[in-house]
Amino acid sequence: MTAMRIEDFELERFFARYEFAVRHLLCASDVEGWSMADLLALADTESAELWHDLRLGYTEPLGHPLLRREIASLYETVTEDEVLVFSGAEEAIFVLANVLLGPGDHAIVGWPSYQSLHEVARFAGAEVTLHELRGEDGWTIDVERLRGELRPSTKLIVINAPHNPTGSMPDLSTFRAIVDLAADAGATLLVDEVYRFLERDPLDRLPAGADAAPHGASIGVMSKSFALAGVRIGWLATHDARLLDAAARFKDYTTICASAPSEILSIIALRARDVVLGRSRSIVEGNLALLDPFFERQAGRFRWVRPRGGPVGFPELLGGVPIDRFAEDLVEAAGVLLAPGSIFGHRANHFRLGFGRTDMPQALEAFEAFADRTLPRDR
């Protein structure tokens, strides 16, 4: 038998090529990162001492107890013993798919999506059904279709809300229906919540997967809403003790434990979460205030479903110019990077647009000038 190979992660290969070479990333999914000095200025007395006295040895495999306590406090019902710290959400995804799935198992994953959410499941040997989100439905999950996709072997359902790349979120009744459906199927419901706390309307915030049910699991990270992608700290939160234990055992083969400075920086940020999240929301809202009139002005050329959460959306280029070619010409001529839908394996003419960065106004201006120069006004 030949060993299964993991496919290239198209989006990450794309960023490896462009991220540090272009003037403006108009497709980033994180929020503008904090400077070290600004973040350290937020430290309370205890965390300032932790930082100052830090020894750079190995750290606790489950995560720093104070970090796990701060993470647990983001949830309604989760205790610090129900949190496992990872090096980024990416490690959590990799480990969870590997411990939950194997040959003969089936997983359903919302799609288009962050590729690892389905590719690692396939790599682990599972059969994967991509539950397609459709623009004409506002990119929402179709519960009845999802029910039809279940099999006796379904072990895992993965959703991502707020969603990358569309910014969609199920409403509460849809979310509850998905939780019940996973319970009936005896499957784990894994909710990738890396964009949680960036809902346009805080009333739209869904219960966390970990709080919603014993078979629910939440993945979180410092990279997106908390604007600290460089610390590479993520986590799993769940009441499922067996899953936590299996994930901790698997992590011995990936990173063993998280970075010591990053754990303390994350404690500082989580203790100052009101300031940290307030800054992220204000960057995103300021940028959306420019994007709304942009999509009105450019209605003949671009259309989007306005994202209900997170810092990304998935607009469509209208009028017949292929988005791959347009994006290539744009980056060449103006140094502005869009992420064409093909990177997600999506065949229609969409692209990911990110609005979490502070240079978005300049990026949008250069993008619009290029569109005005090169695209016909009307379809």
Shortest approach of ligand PLP to residue 194 CB, angstroms?
Answer: 5
- Selected from 71, 194, 210, 343, the binder of ligand PLP by CB under 6 A is 194
Residue 164 binds ligand PLP, judged by CB under 6 A:
yes
Q: With binding defined as CB under 6 A, does residue 218 bind ligand PLP?
A: no
The residue with tokens 């989760």 is 78
Minimum CB distance to ligand PLP, residue 55 (Å)? 26
Closest approach of ligand PLP to the CB of residue 24, in Å: 18
Rounded to a whole number of angstroms, the minimum distance from the CB of residue 103 to ligand PLP is: 25
What residues contact residue 149 under an 8 Å CB cut-off, 6+ apart? 108, 129, 131
Question: Which residue in the set 160, 266, 280, 298 belongs to the binding site for ligand PLP (CB under 6 A)?
Answer: 160
Closest alpha carbon to 68 in 237, 218, 245: 237
Nearer to ligand PLP, 90 or 119 (CB): 90
Q: Do residues 368 and 294 touch, judged by C-beta distance below 8 A? A: yes
Alpha carbons 322 and 347: distance in angstroms, whole number: 10
**Measuring CA to CA, which residue among 356, 351, 357 is closest to residue 371?**
351
For residue 85 the two structure tokens come to: 């710290």
Nearer to ligand PLP, 86 or 302 (CB): 86
Extract long-range pairs of 287-294: CB within 8 Å, 24+ residues apart: 287/355, 287/356, 287/357, 287/360, 287/361, 287/364, 288/200, 288/355, 290/360, 290/361, 290/364, 291/353, 291/355, 291/364, 294/364, 294/368
Between 255 and 370, whose beta carbon lies closer to ligand PLP? 255
Binding mask 219-248 for ligand PLP (x = CB under 6 A): --x-x-----x----x--------------
Angle at CA of residue 243, ends 240 and 247, nearest 5°: 140
Which residue's CB is nearer to ligand PLP, number 235 or number 367?
235
Q: Which is nearer to ligand PLP, 29 or 298 (CB)?
A: 29
Q: For ligand PLP, which residue of 32, 192, 199, 211 counts as binding (CB under 6 A)?
A: 192
From the CB of residue 188, how many other CB atoms can be counted at a distance below 10 Å? Answer: 24
Least distance from ligand PLP to the Cβ atom of residue 43, Å: 22
Member of 34, 94, 111, 114 binding ligand PLP (CB under 6 A): 114
In whole angstroms, how close is the CB of 120 to ligand PLP at the nearest point? 11
- Decide whether 339 or 375 has the Cβ nearer to ligand PLP: 339
DSSP state of 119: H
Q: How far apart are the first and last CA of the chain?
A: 53
Pairing verdict, β 127-132 and 188-192: unpaired
Q: How far is the CB of 99 from ligand PLP (least distance, A)?
A: 17
| Rg of the chain over all Cα atoms, to the nearest angstrom | 21
- Taking a C-beta distance cutoff of 8 angstroms, is the pair 287, 115 a contact? no
Q: Which amino acid would we find at residue 108? A: I
Are the C-beta atoms of 88 and 221 separated by less than 8 Å?
A: yes
Tell me how many residues contact ligand PLP (CB under 6 A).
Answer: 13
CB of 339 to ligand PLP, least distance (A): 11
**d(C-alpha 88, C-alpha 369), whole Å:** 37
Least separation, in Å, of the C-beta of 118 and ligand PLP? 11
For ligand PLP, which residue has the nearest CB?
88
The distance of closest approach from Cβ of residue 352 to ligand PLP in the complex, given in angstroms and rounded to an integer, is: 10
- Map the footprint of ligand PLP across residues 63-102, applying CB under 6 A: 88-90
Q: Is 157 in the site for ligand PLP (CB under 6 A)?
A: no
Give the x/- contact pattern for ligand PLP in 1-40, rule: CB under 6 A: ----------------------------x-----------
196 and 225 Cβ atoms separated by less than 8 Å = yes
List of residues contacting ligand PLP (CB under 6 A): 29, 88-90, 114, 160, 164, 192, 194, 221, 223, 229, 234
